[in-house]
Amino acid sequence: MLTTVVWAIALLIAITIHEFSHALAADKLGDPTASLAGRISLNPLKHLDPIGTLMLLVFHFGWGKPVPFDPFNLRHPKRDSALISLAGPASNLILAAICSILLKTLPISFIGSIILIPVIIMNVNLAIFNLLPIPPLDGAKILYGFLPKGWADEYNDFMRSYGTILLILLILPIGGKSLAINLILPVVNLLNGFLL
């Protein structure tokens, strides 16, 4: 029971910081849409997506409720959209790194380590999964934003046609594990090994 509660808290922290960072980045880059929707908030209830949360609890990867933003309010829509998308995973990795430093440098109690370790793991999992370049994950917008225009348009057209199918294939467990887990696991294990 205690383990479930701790992992649920770690999940809430990871999703909240991720979506809060998207909203804050959008606001700083000139679009008030997320701010007006009340998404520049550290209240977890503002950011939970039922399916994404369930995926995180069951498979240890998933997503929060997408943060709305209007690219027409951005000074450089293509680039700034990528930066807004990057803010979420980056904030998760920064939080995981901060927790790792606390764990390794301060005289953390056993109770403290029980909380910090799941926070590190959940933030790393959420960040790396969201960096996969398939819509609606952050990685798709990041890749689109930094590709040259011609390539970006081709990528966008391809993902508009096949993105949903690719995402379903990534998430469905085949032989006990989803393709997404197989793809992200080496990077997740590497980062967790370094941070823990």
DSSP string computed for 73-116: GSSSHHHHHHHHHHHHHHHHHHHHHHHHHHHHHS---HHHHHHH
- pLDDT tens by residue, 120-130: 999 999 999 99
Whole-number percent of the chain with pLDDT over 90: 55
Q: Which of 11, 12, 19, 40 is catalytic?
A: 19
Residues recorded for the chain:
196
Question: Which of 33-37, 78-82, 111-115 is predicted least confidently?
Answer: 111-115
Q: H-helix or E-strand containing 178?
A: strand 177-178
Question: Which residue has tokens 């959940």?
Answer: 122
**pLDDT of amino acid 13:** 92
Selection from 84-88, 99-103, 191-195 with the highest mean pLDDT: 84-88
Alpha-carbon distances of 191 from 37, 45, 113, 120, rounded to whole Å? 34, 28, 17, 10
User: Is the pTM of the predicted complex or chain greater than 0.95?
Assistant: no
Task: In whole angstroms, give the CA distance from residue 13 to residue 22.
Answer: 14
Q: H-helix or E-strand containing 177?
A: strand 177-178
Q: Is residue 19 among the annotated active site residues?
A: yes
Half-sphere exposure in the Cβ direction for 166 (13 Å, CA): 13
What mean pLDDT is predicted for residues 98-127? 87
Q: Is the pLDDT at 97 greater than 70, yes or no?
A: yes
Task: In whole angstroms, give the CA distance from residue 17 to residue 11.
Answer: 10
Q: Is the pLDDT at 53 greater than 80, yes or no?
A: no
Task: In whole angstroms, give the CA distance from residue 11 to residue 14.
Answer: 5
